[in-house]
A and B are shown apart, each in its own frame.
Chain A
Amino acid sequence: MAEIGSFALRLALALSVYSFLAGIIALAFQSQADRSGIPTPAEAVGETARRAGIATFAAVLLAATVLVICAFQDNFRIAYIFHHSNRDLSGPYKFAVLWSGQEGSLLFWSLLLAAYGFVLRLRYKTDPRLFAYASVVLAGVQIFFLSLLEFAAPPFGILEGPLRADGSGLNPLLQYPEMVIHPPMLYLGYVGFTVPFAFALGALIMKYPGEKWINITRRWTMVTWAFLTCGVFLGAHWAYSVLGWGGYWGWDPVENASLMPWLTGTAFLHSVMMQEKRGMLKMWNMWLVFATFWLAILGTFLTRSGIISSVHAFAQSSIGEWFGWFLLITLAVFCFFFFKNKSSLRSEHKLESIVSRESSFLFNNLLFVILCIVVLLGTWFPKLTELIEEKKVTVSAPYYNSVAIPVALLLLILTAVGPLLAWRKTSLESLKRNFLWPTIGAIAVAVFLMITPQSWGSAFGLRPWKDISYFYSLMAIALSVLVTLTVASEFYRGGRVISKHTGQGMFASMVQLTHRNTRRYGGYIVHFGVVVVIIGFSGAAFNQEKEMEMKTGDQMTIGPYTAICRSSTEDDNPNYFSQWAVLDIYKGGKPIGTMTPERRFYHASQQTSTMPFIRSTLNEDLYFVFEGVNQDNGRPILRAHLNALVMWIWLGVWIMLGGTVLALVPNAPAPVRVPAPARLGQAHPAPVATGD
């Protein structure tokens, strides 16, 4: 089996090289033919390049399938399977072995890239020339990953010595249902940004006129962004549910690595509208899409090189150097074509007023980029100080919170203001009219939260003068209300227009409005999802925690909850040995359930892992961790966290994803019709539509 997998990968590399070289030759011939008017075999060569690209997918798929089959067959002759699997590992986790280690995850990355390339090459008729350029860029990136698999991190390496009876097992932290879907989602996001980058670079090389490449890649970018969003938050949820420290985001370099392309990708999704609608920011968009792709690769470099210490990092290996060179080469190639062809990216439109949608997009992009700079700087700062001052420093949550939160709040203000600004120019009168009630609403909510008693719940009784974190939380909640009200007012005003014309009810009108411009209103729903997430983040200011040793009958009180230890017990199965406590939970003296936080010891890997027990409500999460047993008296040590508003985060992500899916749905034809002017001589009325 290993030989089949190795051969498939070698074949895929050969096909990629052919696709890349033949693609370049075909494009060169094509350009020559365009200039001279003499026919060349460019088309035929280009077609073979396209087919080779498609065949690459088949070959990489075969290799990945072989690796998964080997995992299910417990083929411990293969070093990768031996190091990341064992006989008693359950089925889904054996499938997840594919992306659980360095070699497998690179193969998985390669597979996803080949799959994206497969779809792209099948859809080439949309614009054969542009797709041919994009196909060559994708083939170039594919060559890099397949070379890694061939020369630096082969997944089908054979283990020396006698055949082992069992494998070392999968990392216990990865044996959690979300780990079966978190890496694929994240990788679909990372790899997916290669596609808009490939189109952008292709358009730059061929000096592609107009904004068509933006239109072609819009859906790709949105789908990719949704995958990355899903991946980032699944990672946060996994950290919350498994790592047992009570939080969901630790600003670890690997977490930061996923956040950076998300930030620039989000900026791109916004600024791309300016290029579509007004033909502006062409150069900036080129850089943004490149930065997003580059940061995704940089993130992989961070995790694989061991250059920055991280709890997530894969074992240090030489592949960091490969990534370093690849980053330099892509930067050099992009810079070369950018400076060579940047004259084709000049925008011709002018701006009429600073109070306009265009300006808001500029500031929005600035803030996203500043946030990205903060994360990038914080991630690399320990390395910089080591180089400059020869001392080691730590950059953790306190730094990011102090620098990033104010910028994020500014961004939230723009989220409220931006959508209500018109393209070209907005009058102060209209601004006043649109913002008066949302602003009053936001201030009213802030005052209400300040004056209410704290006993009402986590977010009540906020006294911003007591602690800076309360101040930030209050600001975040008030601004979230502002965004929500402006989004609601957008739906209401649009719905009212349709209702006036059609006589339908307000709700039906708003639904119709959304169907008529899914991108715009889907975007608003995404904004609403973001504010729900922000409200969830703001709950961190009210978190409480407590730790104690509990024998049977002992009780621990945290917030309104009391936990009484009913018993502690243990169990053993072929995969792991586990210990857990049984806690009866009371709220206000009334029993509300039982919690069983657990700690496991995995036999194969000889590692321990905690399985916190979380009781979630909209108001707060009660989170218990079984930390271990006191060796002297055998009593379990339990830590309790009372985390406020965490469920809002996961709820907000679902809303964001729902909004993205809605934005991907094609617009419905506008049913509101007005008579066409008689001078046009049309018998049929012309449709009316709203813009983004």
Chain B
Amino acid sequence: MLRYLNPFSKVIAPFLASFARKPALSLPKGGSWRRKTAHSLLLCIAVFAFLGAGDPATRFTEIGHQMMCICGCNQILLECNHIGCPNSDGMRNELMAAVARGDSDSLVEQGFVQKYGPIVLAAPTMQGFDRAAYIIPPVALFLGVGLIVFVIRSWKNRPAPAIADGLSPVRGAELEQFRDQAGKETDL
């Protein structure tokens, strides 16, 4: 199930390309180690981004797992197991022919979308409203992390609960000493 997935080529490669057109990304002078690190990281990401451009059989498998059979079975094209399915055999042959011609992944996908409609793609594209499917989860994650940091800070700054009469709170070095002692005694 994981095999037919390459978010780097789908998400990160266009993202990097959009930055490459902007000169504002140039790295500050004088930070050679930083520059080298950044270059290495970009190189690593680029290596991942352009992975998958393998032999025709691999490409057939990868692209075939990113498309749906349109017979109504709701299955991935290469997983449709209906004998006598009116669509999957023809679609597989088309895909095989396109891969053999050397069409690029996006060209193959465009051809299928033109013929069968966007429903043939197994995942939303990175265009138009479809992008929301990819943007909402990371945005929610970042907002959530921000919220948690805010909550933790506000909890940290909250005054300690009142202590019953006759007791004095243990703070600072004395508290640390008790913690250390508890740690040693429980060994946990």
Q: Does A325 contact B (CB under 8 A)?
A: no
Q: Which of B118-175 contact A (CB under 8 A)?
A: 118-124, 128-130, 132-134, 136-137, 140-141, 144-145, 148-149, 151-152, 155-156, 158-161
Contact between chains at B51 and A497 (CB < 8 Å): no
Residues of B within 8 A of A369 (CB): 144
Residues of A within 8 A of B7 (CB): 402-403, 468
A582 to B81, CA, bound (A): 20
Contact of B66 among A398, A493, A545, A639 (CB under 8 A): A398
Q: Taking CB as reference atom, which chain B residue is nearest A401?
A: B5
Given contacts A348-B161, A351-B152, A403-B134, contact A398 B141 (CB under 8 A): no
Given contacts A245-B81, A472-B2, contact A370 B123 (CB under 8 A): no
A628 to B1, CA, bound (A): 24
Contact between chains at B1 and A397 (CB < 8 Å): yes
Contact of A425 among B4, B148, B161, B179 (CB under 8 A): B179
Contact of A473 among B2, B118, B179 (CB under 8 A): B2
Q: Does B10 contact A (CB under 8 A)?
A: yes
Instruction: Looking at the assembled complex, report how far the CB atom of A587 sits from the nearest CB atom of chain B, in whole angstroms.
Output: 23
Residues of A within 8 A of B159 (CB): 350
A415 to B75, CA, bound (A): 33
Residues of A within 8 A of B148 (CB): 359, 362-363, 366
Residues of B within 8 A of A571 (CB): none
Residues of B within 8 A of A540 (CB): 1-3
Binds B, one of A5-13, A381-389, A480-488: A381-389
Binds B, one of A137-145, A221-229, A247-255, A264-272: A247-255
Instruction: Looking at the assembled complex, report how far the CB atom of B176 sits from the nearest CB atom of chain A, in whole angstroms.
Output: 9
Q: Does A562 contact B (CB under 8 A)?
A: no
Given contacts A377-B137, A396-B68, contact A637 B83 (CB under 8 A): yes
Contact of A351 among B132, B155, B161 (CB under 8 A): B155
Q: Does B76 contact A (CB under 8 A)?
A: yes
Contact between chains at B156 and A366 (CB < 8 Å): no
Contact of A467 among B3, B118, B136 (CB under 8 A): B3
Given contacts A381-B133, A493-B187, A540-B1, contact A394 B123 (CB under 8 A): yes
Instruction: Looking at the assembled complex, report how far the CB atom of B123 sits from the nearest CB atom of chain A, in whole angstroms.
Output: 4
Contact of A468 among B51, B84, B133, B160 (CB under 8 A): B51
Instruction: Looking at the assembled complex, report how far the CB atom of B30 sits from the nearest CB atom of chain A, in whole angstroms.
Output: 32
Sorting the interface of chain A by its residue count into under 10, 10 to 19, 20 to 34 or 35 or more gives 35 or more
Instruction: Looking at the assembled complex, report how far the CB atom of B183 sits from the nearest CB atom of chain A, in whole angstroms.
Output: 7
Interface code A675-692, partner B: CB below 8 Å = 1, 0 otherwise?
Answer: 000000000000000100
Residues of A within 8 A of B59 (CB): none
Q: Taking CB as reference atom, which chain A residue is nearest B122?
A: A396
Residues of A within 8 A of B183 (CB): 430
Residues of B within 8 A of A430 (CB): 183
A350 to B156, CA, bound (A): 6
Contact between chains at B84 and A628 (CB < 8 Å): yes
Contact of B188 among A399, A425, A493 (CB under 8 A): A493
Q: Taking CB as reference atom, which chain A residue is nearest B159?
A: A350
Residues of B within 8 A of A370 (CB): 137, 140-141, 144
Contact between chains at B10 and A394 (CB < 8 Å): no
Contact of A392 among B84, B117, B129, B133 (CB under 8 A): B117
A425 to B159, CA, bound (A): 17
Q: Which of B1-42 contact A (CB under 8 A)?
A: 1-8, 10-11
Contact between chains at A402 and B11 (CB < 8 Å): yes
Residues of A within 8 A of B80 (CB): 245
Q: Taking CB as reference atom, which chain B residue is nearest A630?
A: B83
Contact between chains at B5 and A468 (CB < 8 Å): yes
Given contacts A362-B148, A393-B118, A541-B3, contact A309 B156 (CB under 8 A): no
A625 to B140, CA, bound (A): 42
Contact of B4 among A245, A398, A639 (CB under 8 A): A398
Which of B5, B7, B118, B132 has the most chain A CB atoms closer than 10 A to its own CB? B5
Residues of A within 8 A of B129 (CB): 384-385, 388-389
Q: Does B100 contact A (CB under 8 A)?
A: no
A473 to B130, CA, bound (A): 27
A405 to B1, CA, bound (A): 12
Interface code B75-111, partner A: CB below 8 Å = 1, 0 otherwise?
Answer: 1101111011000000000000000000000000000
Contact between chains at B3 and A469 (CB < 8 Å): yes
Contact of A381 among B52, B124, B141, B187 (CB under 8 A): B124
Contact between chains at A405 and B158 (CB < 8 Å): no
Q: Does A432 contact B (CB under 8 A)?
A: no
A401 to B66, CA, bound (A): 11
A310 to B74, CA, bound (A): 7
Contact between chains at B51 and A466 (CB < 8 Å): yes
Contact of A395 among B2, B124, B151, B186 (CB under 8 A): B124
Contact of A543 among B3, B48, B73, B140 (CB under 8 A): B3
Contact between chains at A354 and B152 (CB < 8 Å): yes
Contact between chains at A407 and B137 (CB < 8 Å): yes
A540 to B5, CA, bound (A): 12
Interface code A259-300, partner B: CB below 8 Å = 1, 0 otherwise?
Answer: 000000000000000000000100000000000000000000
Contact between chains at B188 and A366 (CB < 8 Å): no
A370 to B147, CA, bound (A): 13
Residues of B within 8 A of A407 (CB): 137, 141
A322 to B65, CA, bound (A): 38
Instruction: Looking at the assembled complex, report how far the CB atom of A510 sits from the nearest CB atom of chain B, in whole angstroms.
Output: 14
Contact of A497 among B47, B121, B187 (CB under 8 A): B187
A402 to B51, CA, bound (A): 15
Residues of B within 8 A of A496 (CB): 187
Q: Which of A297-316 contact B (CB under 8 A)?
A: 309-311
Contact between chains at A494 and B188 (CB < 8 Å): yes
Contact between chains at A245 and B119 (CB < 8 Å): no
Contact between chains at B79 and A246 (CB < 8 Å): yes
Contact between chains at B81 and A639 (CB < 8 Å): yes
Residues of B within 8 A of A353 (CB): 156
A residues with CB within 8 A of B: 244-247, 249-250, 252, 280, 309-311, 348-354, 359, 362-363, 366, 369-370, 373-374, 377-378, 381, 384-385, 388-389, 391-399, 401-403, 405, 407, 425, 427, 430, 465-469, 471-473, 493-494, 496-497, 538, 540-541, 543, 545, 610, 625, 627-628, 637, 639, 690
- Given contacts A370-B141, A384-B132, 15 further A-B pairs with CB under 8 A are A353-B156, A354-B156, A366-B145, A369-B144, A377-B133, A377-B137, A384-B129, A389-B129, A392-B117, A393-B119, A395-B133, A402-B11, A430-B183, A468-B5, A494-B188
What 5 A-B pairs come out closest when comparing CB atoms? A628-B83, A351-B155, A399-B123, A469-B2, A402-B7
Q: Can you identify 6 A-B contacts, CB atoms within 8 angstroms?
A: A247-B1, A252-B74, A350-B156, A370-B137, A384-B132, A405-B5
